[in-house]
Chains A and B, each alone.
Chain A
Amino acid sequence: MHDAQTQPTVYHKNSLGGSDIKVEVRDVSVSYGEKQALFNVSLDIPDKSVTAFIGPSGCGKSTFLRCMNRMNDTIDGARVSGSLKIDGAEVNDRAVDPVVLRASVGMVFQKPNPFPKSIYDNVAYGPRIHGLASGRDELDAIVEQSLRKAGLWAEVSDRLQDPGTGLSGGQQQRLVIARAIAVNPEVILMDEPCSALDPIATAKIEDLIDELRENYCIIIVTHSMQQAARVSQMTAFFHMGSLIEVGPTEEIFTNPLESRTQDYITGRFG
Chain B
Amino acid sequence: MAFGLGLDCMSIITIVALALLVMIAGGFYVGRSRAITAVEGATAGLHSLPNYHGYYVAIWTGVPAFFLLGLYAIFGGQLVDRLAVSELRAQAAEINRLLDDTLAADTDFIELNHAAENLRGRVDALNDEISALRNARGDNRDPDRLTRLRAEQIEALNLSTAAEDAVRARRQAVVAAVGADAVTDGASERALAGYELAQAPRERRQLFLSDSRRIASGELASRDSVALRAAAQAIAGYDRNVKIGAAVLALALGALGFGLTRARISSQFRARNNVERLVTAALLLSSVIAILTTVGIVLSLLFESLRFFASVPVLDFLFGLQWSPQIAIRADQVGQSGAFGAVPLFAGTAMITVIAMVVAVPIGLFSAIYLSEYAGPKFRQIAKPVLEILAGIPTVVYGFFALLAVGPAIRTLFTALGFESVVTQSALSAGLVMGVMIIPFISSLSDDVINAVPQSLRDGSFAMGATRSETITQIVMPAALPGIVGAILLAVSRAVGETMIVVMAAGQGANLTANPLESVTTITVQIVMLLTGDQEFDSPKTLSAFALGLVLFVLTLLMNVVALRVVQKYREKYD
A residues whose Cβ falls under 8 Å from a Cβ of B:
69, 71, 74, 76, 98-103, 106-107, 109, 111, 113-117, 125-126, 129-130, 176, 179-180, 183
Please name 7 further chain A to chain B contacts, defined as beta carbons within 8 Å, in addition to the given A74-B459, A76-B377, A183-B464, sorted by A numbering. A100-B465, A109-B456, A109-B459, A115-B474, A115-B479, A130-B465, A176-B460
Contact between chains at A129 and B465 (CB < 8 Å):
yes
Contact between chains at A106 and B463 (CB < 8 Å):
yes
Contact between chains at B464 and A179 (CB < 8 Å):
yes
Contact between chains at A116 and B456 (CB < 8 Å):
no
Does B478 make an interface contact (CB < 8 A)? yes
What are 6 pairs between A and B in contact, CB < 8 Å? A107-B463, A113-B456, A113-B460, A116-B479, A125-B464, A126-B464
Q: Which residue of A lies closest to B574 (CB)?
A: A116
Known: A76-B377, A125-B474. A102 touches B465 (CB 8 A): yes
- Give complex CA distance A69, B474 in Å: 21
B residues whose Cβ falls under 8 Å from a Cβ of A:
376-377, 454, 456-467, 470, 474-475, 478-479
Q: Which residue of B lies closest to A104 (CB)?
A: B465
Contact between chains at A102 and B474 (CB < 8 Å):
no
- Give complex CA distance A179, B474 in Å: 15
Nearest-Cβ distance from residue B364 to partner chain A, whole angstroms: 23
Contact between chains at B465 and A183 (CB < 8 Å):
yes
CB-CB < 8 A to B479: which residues of A?
Answer: 115-116
Known: A103-B465, A126-B465. A117 touches B478 (CB 8 A): yes
Q: Which residue of A lies closest to B468 (CB)?
A: A74
- Give complex CA distance A111, B479 in Å: 17
CB-CB < 8 A to A179: which residues of B?
Answer: 460, 464
CB-CB < 8 A to A101: which residues of B?
Answer: 465
- Give complex CA distance A251, B459 in Å: 35
- Give complex CA distance A109, B478 in Å: 21
Question: What 8 A-B pairs are tightest by C-beta distance, nearest first?
Answer: A102-B465, A103-B465, A107-B463, A113-B456, A113-B460, A126-B464, A116-B479, A99-B465
By CB atoms of chain A within 10 A, which of B376, B377, B475 has the most?
A: B475
Contact between chains at A113 and B457 (CB < 8 Å):
yes
- Give complex CA distance A69, B377 in Å: 24
Contact between chains at A129 and B462 (CB < 8 Å):
no
Nearest-Cβ distance from residue A23 to partner chain B, whole angstroms: 16
CB-CB < 8 A to A115: which residues of B?
Answer: 457, 460-461, 474-475, 479
Known: A99-B467, A116-B479, A125-B474. A74 touches B462 (CB 8 A): yes
Nearest-Cβ distance from residue A203 to partner chain B, whole angstroms: 24
Contact between chains at B462 and A116 (CB < 8 Å):
no
Nearest-Cβ distance from residue A73 to partner chain B, whole angstroms: 8
CB-CB < 8 A to A111: which residues of B?
Answer: 456
Contact between chains at A71 and B459 (CB < 8 Å):
yes
CB-CB < 8 A to B478: which residues of A?
Answer: 116-117
CB-CB < 8 A to A113: which residues of B?
Answer: 454, 456-457, 459-460
Contact between chains at A129 and B464 (CB < 8 Å):
yes
Nearest-Cβ distance from residue A29 to partner chain B, whole angstroms: 22
CB-CB < 8 A to B462: which residues of A?
Answer: 71, 74, 98, 102
CB-CB < 8 A to A69: which residues of B?
Answer: 463
- Give complex CA distance A74, B463 in Å: 10
- Give complex CA distance A125, B470 in Å: 10
CB-CB < 8 A to B463: which residues of A?
Answer: 69, 71, 102, 106-107, 109, 180
Contact between chains at B459 and A129 (CB < 8 Å):
no
Nearest-Cβ distance from residue A90 to partner chain B, whole angstroms: 18
- Give complex CA distance A69, B464 in Å: 10
Nearest-Cβ distance from residue A169 to partner chain B, whole angstroms: 14
Contact between chains at A129 and B376 (CB < 8 Å):
no
- Give complex CA distance A117, B479 in Å: 9
- Give complex CA distance A71, B458 in Å: 11
- Give complex CA distance A97, B30 in Å: 81
CB-CB < 8 A to B464: which residues of A?
Answer: 102-103, 106, 125-126, 129, 179-180, 183
By CB atoms of chain A within 10 A, which of B376, B454, B464, B467 has the most?
A: B464
By CB atoms of chain A within 10 A, which of B456, B457, B460, B465 has the most?
A: B465
By CB atoms of chain B within 10 A, which of A114, A116, A130 has the most?
A: A116
CB-CB < 8 A to B460: which residues of A?
Answer: 109, 113-115, 176, 179
Q: Which residue of A lies closest to B377 (CB)?
A: A76
- Give complex CA distance A109, B457 in Å: 10
Contact between chains at A129 and B466 (CB < 8 Å):
yes
- Give complex CA distance A176, B456 in Å: 12
- Give complex CA distance A109, B458 in Å: 12
CB-CB < 8 A to A99: which residues of B?
Answer: 465-467
Nearest-Cβ distance from residue B573 to partner chain A, whole angstroms: 9
CB-CB < 8 A to B466: which residues of A?
Answer: 99, 125, 129
Nearest-Cβ distance from residue B379 to partner chain A, whole angstroms: 12
- Give complex CA distance A101, B463 in Å: 9
Q: Which residue of B lies closest to A106 (CB)?
A: B463
- Give complex CA distance A74, B456 in Å: 12
- Give complex CA distance A109, B460 in Å: 8
CB-CB < 8 A to A125: which residues of B?
Answer: 461, 464, 466, 474
- Give complex CA distance A74, B459 in Å: 8
Nearest-Cβ distance from residue A75 to partner chain B, whole angstroms: 10
CB-CB < 8 A to B474: which residues of A?
Answer: 115, 125, 129
- Give complex CA distance A200, B492 in Å: 50
Nearest-Cβ distance from residue A70 to partner chain B, whole angstroms: 9
- Give complex CA distance A179, B464 in Å: 8
CB-CB < 8 A to A76: which residues of B?
Answer: 376-377
- Give complex CA distance A116, B461 in Å: 12
CB-CB < 8 A to A116: which residues of B?
Answer: 457, 478-479
Nearest-Cβ distance from residue A62 to partner chain B, whole angstroms: 12
- Give complex CA distance A109, B461 in Å: 11
CB-CB < 8 A to A130: which residues of B?
Answer: 465
By CB atoms of chain B within 10 A, which of A98, A106, A113, A117 has the most?
A: A113
- Give complex CA distance A102, B468 in Å: 13
- Give complex CA distance A7, B466 in Å: 38
- Give complex CA distance A179, B461 in Å: 10
Q: Which residue of B lies closest to A125 (CB)?
A: B464
- Give complex CA distance A99, B454 in Å: 21
Q: Which residue of B lies closest to A73 (CB)?
A: B462
- Give complex CA distance A116, B573 in Å: 11
- Give complex CA distance A176, B457 in Å: 11
By CB atoms of chain A within 10 A, which of B463, B475, B478 has the most?
A: B463
- Give complex CA distance A130, B478 in Å: 19
- Give complex CA distance A99, B456 in Å: 18
- Give complex CA distance A36, B376 in Å: 22
Nearest-Cβ distance from residue B184 to partner chain A, whole angstroms: 93
CB-CB < 8 A to B376: which residues of A?
Answer: 76
Nearest-Cβ distance from residue B437 to partner chain A, whole angstroms: 32
- Give complex CA distance A52, B377 in Å: 36
Q: Which residue of B lies closest to A179 (CB)?
A: B464
CB-CB < 8 A to B459: which residues of A?
Answer: 71, 74, 109, 113
CB-CB < 8 A to B458: which residues of A?
Answer: 74
- Give complex CA distance A71, B474 in Å: 19
CB-CB < 8 A to B467: which residues of A?
Answer: 99, 129
